[in-house]
Amino acid sequence: MSKDSDNRPVGIDREVLTRLQSLVPQETTLRSFFFTLEPTRIMQVPGFEWDHEVRVALPLSSPHTDRSYPVLWLTDNHIEAALALLGPLDVILVGVGSGLVSLTEWDRRRIYEFSPDGPLYFDGPGGEWLEREQPKIFPDSTDLKVGGAPAFLDFLIDTVRPALAAEYRMDENDHGLFGFSSGGLFVGFSLFARPGGFTRYICGSPPFYTRNHEVFKMEERYAAEHDDLDAHVFFGAGEQESVEDRIAAIGCLSSMIRLAETLSFRGYPSLRMTVRVFERESHTTMLAPLLKWGVRTVWGDEIAPRA
């Protein structure tokens, strides 16, 4: 565990995280002042070895109106965080991810489903450090697989979205995608893999250097064939992520800045982009500010409750 200049701990040890997770009850009832949680659905991506929970939270105004709502898609099943942090908003929340599994299994699954194809390690000093140290950080790293992102993205857009839209009043032209860490890698992948699949993107602490910089290669191919990118993108990462060993190695801050700079020079007329580096925040503490500021930035007053 590293510390900042004020000796405040930065990050949490993996063993501590595993211990905390073991304290979560198998059956947990979520309550929110601002949303109602629908029954959990179990769905499976074709070709995947595991199921996904799909959870929907509706704004309190939903039963009292016939209008459609924007939709925020939360990777990693982060619906608890959204319920706790977002307050009263006129938006439908959709959480997709694993149920309660071990931290090691959770890592294994998300590394696969959020990653484009490519080598596990990558060129450069960060990749070399990670290849050397990964067995200590992730003892089961020989079992890690990548390349599931295309199938997972198609699953969200072509399978889950139509199924939910048939039951809930979703605005078909206003879907936002949220992802943090490896989920942020998936958000960047989605931006170029299926342009227009979402209209708003909240991308937090993304390890874009992984898979040997595949997202940057996708961006180059996109730029060669397009002169516009119609999207509203929020990039966010923590200041402390530049000095956290594994996080710095995979470039959660630096690779995010690099992609944002690249996009700014493309001059896409329809692209709206915000980049924010959060002072004193580490990888472990970034989820909350990313959610609050990301949603506030890409939607603004558009999802404020109506009188």
Structural domains in the chain? 83-174+191-286+295-301 (3.40.50.1820)
What does the pLDDT read at residue 128?
83
pTM reported for the whole predicted model: 0.89
Q: Which residues of the chain have pLDDT under 70?
A: 1-31, 137-143, 307
What does the pLDDT read at residue 298?
98
Q: What is the distance between the alpha carbons of residues 49 and 177, in angstroms, rounded to a whole number?
A: 24
By C-alpha distance, which of 47, 29, 49 is closest to 39? 29
What does the pLDDT read at residue 105?
87
